[in-house]
Structure 1
Amino acid sequence: MAKTTYDESKILTLSALEHIRKRPGMYIGRLGNGTHVDDGIYILLKEVVDNSIDEFIMGYGSRIVIRLKESEVSVRDFGRGIPLGKVVDCVSIINTGAKYSDDVFQFSVGLNGVGTKAVNALSSHFQVTSYREGKYSTAIFEKGILIREKTGKTEEADGTEVLFTPDPELFGEYSYNEDFVISRIWSYAYLNTGLTINYNNRAYKSSNGLYDLLDKEVGTENLYSIIHYQSKQLEFALTHVTGSYGENYFSYVNGQHTNDGGTHQSAFKEGILKGINEYFKKNWAPQDVREGVVGAIAVKIKEPVFESQTKNKLSNTEIRTWIVNEVKDAIIDFLLKNTAEAEKINQKILNNEKLRKELNEVKKGARESAKKVSLNIPKLKDCKYHLGQSNAHQEACESSMIFLTEGDSASGTITKTRDVMTQAVFSLRGKIVNVFGKKKTEIYKNAELYNMMVALGIENGVEGLRYGKVIIATDADTDGFHIRNLLMTYFLTYFEDLVLSGRLYILETPLFRVRNKTQTVYCYSEKERDHATSQIRNSEVTRFKGLGEIDPKEFGQFIGEDMRLLPVSIVGMNEMHKTMEFYMGSNTPERRDFIMENLI
């Protein structure tokens, strides 16, 4: 093998913007194509809006206008506007910005001096205009390179406007999911009372902050009035809901949604436990107090420390004590003033305690009959690396995944082609039990449900999850879709927090193969099939109904680097429970009418 020369000519120094384009993951986490809520195109939008939010937080501009048309995004705020002489520097030179000055920005949400530069570098077209005191300054960039500048007089109100198009050269064929965008806009509205966000000519505004967030999420499922508290640096809202297992939290730091929680969220949970136990003069177990809790917490911190560039988890330890005490005192104050609501909480906790003891009895029997030794689980083909493995390569642990498949045929195909280091397979015997509306004891009465739970490591909560992704991999036929619904019902009924944490996915596999003697194309829709047949002469078309029909030699590519995953997300728990009732509940008149209307 020829040796390569390693000398001075091989040492490269990239400009900051070149580095962003070459290593975008370091700045925005992932590229993606818009099918996942954390894909890069949404991070770009967030970084631009965050700057406008910072202006509002500092008391300038109570309105933000966002327009999204296909791939072009525009964000206009009515804050102070970037100082006209620094417009180019602020969007193109790393470590340039006012976020470093506590006098200008006290509780910044944007990436300090990096965010807008990353948007600029990763956009095929980027334009920024600052309006300030009757003058304007515009700078236009392509792929981070300045093309031209314009200055002059204007009658526009003070503020900043940014237009950008994520670069298809980097992001490929992408599209914005309207639900993801609106969900993020609602988060901004809840966290910034008094701010109006106009998105595509519709106004979004919240008058009651996190109270409104919880009210929208739980609807009529709350057992008692939502507890809502707000001070200068802390706001929280919480309630217990009916018919829900586990506990669910929405947590934010300086307006940033911390998907993976952190010290503020754990302090919030501790404060809830201490407040309720102190008021009732009890020593209830944490799971009995918090089972069925839905809560939201937002904190403002001057120097937040996050575990990653994308700010999914807060690490500051010094904030724990004051959050615990403030939450505890606020809950005690609410209960003292609302004795009728306090009694509802008391009854909920006693019921939780009763159900837990009942569940423990069933667990004992299930464990004895299963005679579980380590992870010797039938139908599980495990992988080497697992989530939370402290003595292993962390990137491999985070990228670990488990495929939930139907039958030996499909699992055999995946098992033969999987990466044994990071990809596990759990094979279902067929259709699992419909668990909608059933107690958690059902898991311990059914070997398959039990084995699946143990394989995932979630018996005692999502904290024990053994895989970074849980992937439903069923056939693209009516039976496959039914099994998919049954599995989603299982997770949404008993392990809702696993879904809320963004760990559950559906594997998309090709429906068609279009080929001739020299060319083969796999298609995921009829539209793709029709396009392929028009491009490939004398082609033959194969329709795949089951994963087992695809040759393992072909299948490997569909669970490799270009694997297509559809994340299972929840717009709102209240709406989700209504949807589950419609599809998976007993034979409701609504569903019967729907079937009759659409049968033909």
Structure 2
Amino acid sequence: MAETKRPAHQYDESKIKTLSSLEHIRLRTGMYIGRLGNGSHYDDGCYILLKEVIDNAVDEFIMGYGRQIDLDIEGPRVRVRDYGRGIPLGKVVDCVSTINTGAKYNDDVFQFSVGLNGVGAKAVNALSRHFVVRSHRGGEFVEAVFRQGRLVREHKGRDPHAADGTFVEFEPDPETFKDWSFRLEHIERRLRHYSYLNTGLKLVLRWNGEQPRVFLSRNGLMDLVMEELASDGSEPLYPPLHYTSRTLEFCFTHSNSRYGETVYSFVNGQYTSDGGTHLSAFREGLLKAVNEFANVRFEAEDVRESLVGAVAVRLKDPVFESQTKNKLGNTEIRAELVNKVREELLHFFQRNRTIAETLLAKVRDTQQLRRELQQVKKLARERARAISLRIPQLKDCRRHYDKRTGKGTGTMIFLCEGQSAAGSITSCRDVETQAVFVLKGKPLNVWELKREVMYKNDELYNLMQALNIEDGLEGLRYEKVILATDADVDGLHIRNLMIAYFFRFFEPLVHDGHLYVLETPLFRVRNKDRTLYCYSEAERDAAVRELGGKPEITRFKGLGEISPREFARFIGPDMRLSRVEYAPRPEATAILDFYLGRNTPERRDYIMEHLVVPDSE
């Protein structure tokens, strides 16, 4: 048999490319600043650029130079001025344009810096359409102007009246950052964190010409903990325990009105939203101290329930899991941190026995509630076995996901709103990999309820069993959990209630990226020859122009209106899914408290104040 010839693709020296550091940053942006986003999320790229510049200014304060940082934001343009030592004048251009250049490698100059990799300011420069840096030292200055990381001009001069320090101005490049904008609440929150972690540092924000906002903390992490409690009207069960040294600071208390654990963690001033070694060491040290003082063996969940706190460490050589520094990876510090937290808390408990007894009473109450919950779980399992060995709302698939081996990749379960939508999906699904779970009307709002509600509510219990996540994600039966609700007000409400359910009781499911929303078309536009499905009004208008004439336009109000024949394409290879993005509990709690909590009058007032009434034609 003649050998089939494959098309010739020439692979020679001409195909090998070497990118400059500037080209690499612009081509592989995610490696340097993580997600791009549009400014709606705290960790979007525009805030990472801002953080990298402010980090350099804060590093000066940490080393004892400059007690104020000025931040001026006008639209997309940012100006940051510190009053530290200023970049050495002969290295101004190199420090903001040449990778692996800087003083952060020198322990004599910067001992506890976040920006240890020599990339931060260079990435900001490379990703800005306009970037200016000016360093003032001893009455002289050097200014350099860049465009997309390329030097446009350099200027030297004298200004005997200017204080020493560094000025940076930048504007993110619209070629990289599309349809984005800064949000004041994210910037304010970041600046508050800087102030809590750097007691005595004054940060002054000028936002689009408004009156300056000043951020200054005198009590460090104590202020952060008290602000977090005040955010939802919680009261500390006892005065927060606060310890501070040159390399470690932690503060915490318990609250009777909180569910779960809320602990912020920081490394060298950087908020580590995914925690890491320092957070796990703090938790272990706390557990050991409580058990040793009480001479009782409590479980970790008993001690950490309703805990509100923060922990910050300063390290010479922090190792992060990515350039965006969301998780600390230094394992060698764990034992020392655990022991330090344990020792300091034992000393505190001995000196403050009233507070220690209050803490222990809270832990005992939690332990008792957990034991009662175990009984509720047992009764729920017995009731489920007595009714049926099958989950009546589940139309299962043949293959299942195994997190440990990776088998079953691509399996999914659709959580559908009612029998009508479930019928459309069930009739056209792939029975090998696609399961369906039917929700009977609106699920229970569980945001302010305790875990026992899952064992008393049949629907929530059956869903937990269908997913097999009662004891963690190890048994998760489907790689993707997909919310398939109607694109109307009721459907969006059901979607939000389900997101709250997973976030409250099964946070790792959201954190690990298993929760999705199914995007289904809002419109069908067709003529005799072609049919186009549109997911927004803009797509509908474009389809009308493309087809010309007067095509037929159908507005889908619910998934049940889409025929199974049509629906097959929307859950097939071209399926549109939006992953529910994870936000750490400290960030998400305030939002979910407002929209799902017991603050109906406040929520009603907000709706009335922001209600948009379309103009009558």
TM class, shorter-chain normalised?
0.7 to 0.9
Q: Within 2, Cα distance between the matches of 1:19 and 1:348?
A: 53
Hey, what does 2:85 align to over in structure 1? 80
What amino acid is the match of 2:305?
Answer: E
**Contact 2:444 / 2:497 at 8 angstroms: preserved in 1?**
yes
**Contact 1:260 / 1:501 at 8 angstroms: preserved in 2?**
no
Q: 1:467 to 1:78 in 2, by over 3 A?
A: farther
Q: Within 2, Cα distance between the matches of 1:256 and 1:402?
A: 37
1:483-502 to structure 2, matched below 5 A, reads: 483-491=494-502, 493-494=504-505
Hey, what does 2:180 align to over in structure 1? 174
CA deviations 1:22-72 (Å, max 9, x no partner) are 111221222222233322222211111111111111111111122223322
Report the more deviating stretch, 481-490 or 177-186: 481-490
Report the more deviating stretch, 55-64 or 529-538: 529-538
Q: Within 2, Cα distance between the matches of 1:319 and 1:422?
A: 44
1:289-368 to structure 2, matched below 5 A, reads: 289-368=303-382
Match among 42, 46, 51 for residue 41 of structure 1: 46
Hey, what does 2:106 align to over in structure 1? 101
What amino acid is the match of 1:167?
Answer: D
Identity of aligned residues (%): 54
- The count of residues paired between Structure 1 and Structure 2 equals 590
Q: Within 2, Cα distance between the matches of 1:465 and 1:193?
A: 45
Hey, what does 1:50 align to over in structure 2? 55
What amino acid is the match of 2:72?
Answer: R
Shift of 1:451: 3.6
CA deviations 1:378-426 (Å, max 9, x no partner) are 356698767xx45449xx98x9987654335556777899999999875
Q: 1:339 to 1:376 in 2, by over 3 A?
A: farther
CA deviations 1:505-537 (Å, max 9, x no partner) are 76776656778888968464x788789989996
What amino acid is the match of 1:268?
Answer: F
Query: So what's the TM-score if we normalise by structure 1?
Result: 0.84
Q: Within 2, Cα distance between the matches of 1:59 and 1:322?
A: 27
Shift of 1:477: 2.0
1:124-523 to structure 2, matched below 5 A, reads: 124-154=129-159, 155-199=161-205, 200=207, 201-219=212-230, 220-370=234-384, 378=394, 389-392=403-406, 404-407=415-418, 410=421, 427-454=438-465, 459-460=470-471, 472-491=483-502, 493-494=504-505, 522=534
Q: 1:115 to 1:438 in 2, by over 3 A?
A: closer
Shift of 1:112: 1.6
Hey, what does 1:69 align to over in structure 2? 74
Q: 1:139 to 1:506 in 2, by over 3 A?
A: farther
Q: Mark the runs of 5 or more structure 2 residues left unpaired by the alignment.
A: 1-5
Q: Within 1, Cα distance between the matches of 2:79 and 2:543?
A: 35
1:26 maps to 2:37? no
What amino acid is the match of 1:182?
Answer: E
Q: Within 2, Cα distance between the matches of 1:488 and 1:565?
A: 8
Q: Within 2, Cα distance between the matches of 1:450 and 1:141?
A: 59
What amino acid is the match of 1:96?
Answer: T
Shift of 1:447: 3.0
What amino acid is the match of 2:450?
Answer: K
**Contact 1:247 / 1:497 at 8 angstroms: preserved in 2?**
no
Q: 1:460 to 1:266 in 2, by over 3 A?
A: farther
Q: Within 2, Cα distance between the matches of 1:111 and 1:415?
A: 53
Question: Any idea what SS the aligned residue of 1:129 has?
Answer: strand
Report the more deviating stretch, 244-253 or 292-301: 244-253
Q: 1:460 to 1:292 in 2, by over 3 A?
A: farther
Match among 101, 114, 137 for residue 119 of structure 2: 114
What amino acid is the match of 1:176?
Answer: F
Shift of 1:145: 1.4
Q: Within 2, Cα distance between the matches of 1:423 and 1:138?
A: 60
Shift of 1:549: 5.0
Q: Within 1, Cα distance between the matches of 2:89 and 2:15?
A: 40
Q: Mark the runs of 5 or more structure 1 residues left unpaired by the alignment.
A: none
Q: 1:539 to 1:349 in 2, by over 3 A?
A: farther
What amino acid is the match of 1:431?
Answer: K
**Contact 1:381 / 1:415 at 8 angstroms: preserved in 2?**
no
Report the more deviating stretch, 49-58 or 127-136: 127-136
CA deviations 1:198-223 (Å, max 9, x no partner) are 22221112211111111111223332
**Contact 2:393 / 2:438 at 8 angstroms: preserved in 1?**
no
Hey, what does 1:545 align to over in structure 2? 557
Question: Any idea what SS the aligned residue of 1:149 has?
Answer: strand
Match among 597, 600, 603 for residue 581 of structure 1: 597
Q: Within 1, Cα distance between the matches of 2:431 and 2:314?
A: 43
CA deviations 1:155-188 (Å, max 9, x no partner) are 3222112222222222322222332222222211
Question: Any idea what SS the aligned residue of 1:318 has?
Answer: helix
Shift of 1:594: 7.8
What amino acid is the match of 2:180?
Answer: Y
Q: Within 2, Cα distance between the matches of 1:146 and 1:308?
A: 28
**Contact 1:401 / 1:468 at 8 angstroms: preserved in 2?**
yes
What amino acid is the match of 1:49?
Answer: I
Q: 1:94 to 1:217 in 2, by over 3 A?
A: same
Q: Within 1, Cα distance between the matches of 2:190 and 2:39?
A: 14
1:4 maps to 2:9? yes
Q: Radius of gyration: which is bigger?
A: 2
Shift of 1:190: 1.3
Q: Within 1, Cα distance between the matches of 2:171 and 2:93?
A: 18
Q: 1:10 to 1:27 in 2, by over 3 A?
A: same
Q: Within 1, Cα distance between the matches of 2:389 and 2:460?
A: 17
Shift of 1:122: 1.6
**Contact 2:445 / 2:501 at 8 angstroms: preserved in 1?**
yes
Hey, what does 2:3 align to over in structure 1? none
**Contact 1:223 / 1:241 at 8 angstroms: preserved in 2?**
yes
Question: Any idea what SS the aligned residue of 1:450 has?
Answer: helix
Question: Any idea what SS the aligned residue of 1:352 has?
Answer: helix
Q: Within 2, Cα distance between the matches of 1:507 and 1:36?
A: 21
Report the more deviating stretch, 569-578 or 7-16: 569-578
